[in-house]
Amino acid sequence: MDRSRGWQGSSVPEDRTEAGIKHFLEDMDDAGLNKFVKDFPGSENCHQPEAKTWGSRPQVLEPRPQAPDLYQDDLEFRPPSWPQASDSQQYCSASAPLSPSARPRSPWGKLDPYDSSEDDKEYVGFATLPNQVHRKSVKKGFDFTLMVAGESGLGKSTLVNSLFLTDLYRDRKLLSAEERIMQTVEITKHAVDIEEKGVRLRLTIVDTPGFGDAVNNTECWKPVAEYIDQQFEQYFRDESGLNRKNIQDNRVHCCLYFISPFGHGLRPLDVEFMKALHQRVNIVPILAKADTLTPPEVERKKRKIREEIERFGIKVYQFPDCDSDEDEDFKLQDQALKESIPFAVIGSNTVVEARGRRVRGRLYPWGIVEVENPGHCDFVKLRTMLVRTHMQDLKDVTRETHYENYRAQCIQSMTRLVVKERNRKPWAQSKQVLGSP
C-alpha cells in the first residue's frame, strides 16, 4: 500500500501507534516527508480546534515556551512501554472479551421508553442510544483532575475543601518561613472518591506547595509545566501501547490560579505562570479572599485583571458559546458566568449560624460572610461551573486542544528524527530507489 500517497492526500496514518507512525514515516518518499515536516501542525503551528460552538476558544498558535523534547537528538525512538513480566497475565487476559456479567447490563426492555408501543411500527430503537451511553458511563465512573496554583496562604486548600466538602489536606505539614525560603516548588496529589446519587467521581487535586514562596521565584512555573507534560507523555505512551483498555488518565483538566487580593492586578509572577501554562491546561483565574475587599474594590480588581489578561495575551479557559435555541434564563446565567472572571471567592471550613441558619462562612466581629451567598462572593458560580455545567467541557478541551497539541509536537519531533536519520544514511535512500528488500 502506498502510504505516502495517502499522507499527501492529507490523511493520517491508519495505525496511530508510535510504531505505526514510525513505519508510516519511514515508508514515505522524500518529497512527502519534506512536505510533512513543513505542513504538520506541530510546535510552529499547533492544532486548532474546529470552530464548533466555541468561537472564542483558546487556540494554541504560538510555540510553547518549552517544547517537550521527548526524543531529543539521540536518533533513537524510545521503546514503547512494553508490559513487564509481572504484567503478562493481565496483558494476556486484557484481549479476551469482558465476561457478560462485567459488561453493562442490556438496555433493552424496561429501559426502552418506546418498546411497549405496538402501534409505533416506525420505531427502530436508536432513540435509546443516550440511555446506553448514560448507563455505561455511570458504571465506569468519572474522573477529574484539578490543579490549584498560586502563592501559599491565598486559601487554596480551604477553597478545595469547601468546594468538594471533604478534608483533602489532612496530612498537610505547614513549613516555617525559614524553610519556605529554601523550598522549591513541589507537586503533590490528593485523590478522593466521591459518590453522589450513585454516580462515582474520582477527584484528584494537584497542589503546588512552594509556588511563589522563595526569594527568587524566576521560572518557578517550570516544575508545574513539566508535571503537566509528564502526564501528557504518559498518556501518549499508554495510548500507543498494546493494552489500551485500562489507561489511567492523569491529564490535568483545569488549573485554578489564585491571584492575591492585596496587589494592584496581576503580578509579574502571575503573568509568567499563566503565559507559560495557558497552552497546556485550562486556566481559571481566581481572585482569592474576596472578603478582604469591598464590593467596588472587587469590581475594580476584576476589571483590571481582565484587562491585563487581555493585554498580555493570556488565553484563560473560555466558556463555550450558548446554543441560540437555549432559553433566555439560561443565556443570562451563561452571560453572568462569563462576566464573573476572575471568580472572586471566599473559602471556609467552618459552619456558623447566620440569620437562624447554619451556613459555611467566616465569622467576624462585625458580621458573617457566607461562602455560598451569591451576594457575598462567586463561590457558587465557580462550583456550578466546575462541577455541574462545564466539567465535561474542561475535559473535552484538554483532550481536543491541549493534548492534541502535545501529541502533534511529539509526532513532529519523531518526523524530524526520521528526516535526520535519512540524511545521515544516504545508502538507505538508494536502497529504497532500487526497490531492494
Residues in contact with ligand GDP by the rule CB under 6 A = 152-158, 289, 291-292, 346-347
Min separation Cβ 286 and ligand GDP, Å: 10
Q: Where are the alpha helices (DSSP H) in 278-403?
A: 295-311, 328-339, 379-383, 391-397
Tell me which residue has its CB nearest to ligand GDP.
155
Q: Nearest distance from residue 258's CB to ligand GDP, in Å?
A: 7
Q: In the complex with ligand GDP, which residue's Cβ is closer, 149 or 418?
A: 149
CB of 265 to ligand GDP, least distance (A): 19
Name the H helices within 203-327. Answer: 222-240, 268-277, 295-311
Taking the least distance from each CB to ligand GDP, the nearer of 46 and 259 is 259
Q: Cβ of residue 154: shortest distance to ligand GDP, in angstroms?
A: 4
- CA–CA dist 105, 103 (Å, integer): 6
Question: Which single residue is written with the C-alpha cell 468519572?
Answer: 142
Name the residue nearer to ligand GDP (CB basis): 157 or 279. Answer: 157
> How many Å apart are CA 394 and CA 396, to the nearest integer?
5
Task: Report the residue number, 68 or 347, with the smaller CB distance to ligand GDP.
Answer: 347
Contacts of 283 (CB under 8 A, 6+ apart): 255, 257, 274, 277, 314, 315, 316, 317
Q: Which is nearer to ligand GDP, 274 or 286 (CB)?
A: 286
Residue 158 CB, shortest distance to ligand GDP, in Å, is: 3
Helix axes 30-39, 404-424, angle to 10 degrees: 140
Q: Is the peptide bond preceding residue 97 cis, with omega within 30 degrees of 0?
A: no
Minimum CB distance to ligand GDP smaller for 154 or for 417: 154
The angle that helices 222-240 and 268-277 make with each other, rounded to 10 degrees, is 10
> Residue 284 or residue 417: which is nearer to ligand GDP going by CB?
284
Residue with cell 533513537: 76
CB of 327 to ligand GDP, least distance (A): 34
Query: Looking at beta carbons only, is 18 or 270 nearer to ligand GDP?
Result: 270
Shortest reach from residue 161's CB to ligand GDP, in Å? 8
> How many angstroms separate the Cα of 169 from the Cα of each of 230, 372, 375, 436?
24, 21, 28, 64
H helices of 249-294, in order, are: 268-277
Write down the least CB distance from residue 156 to ligand GDP, Å. Answer: 4
Cβ neighbours for 48, distance < 8 A, ≥ 6 positions apart? 41, 59, 60, 61, 401
DSSP 292: G
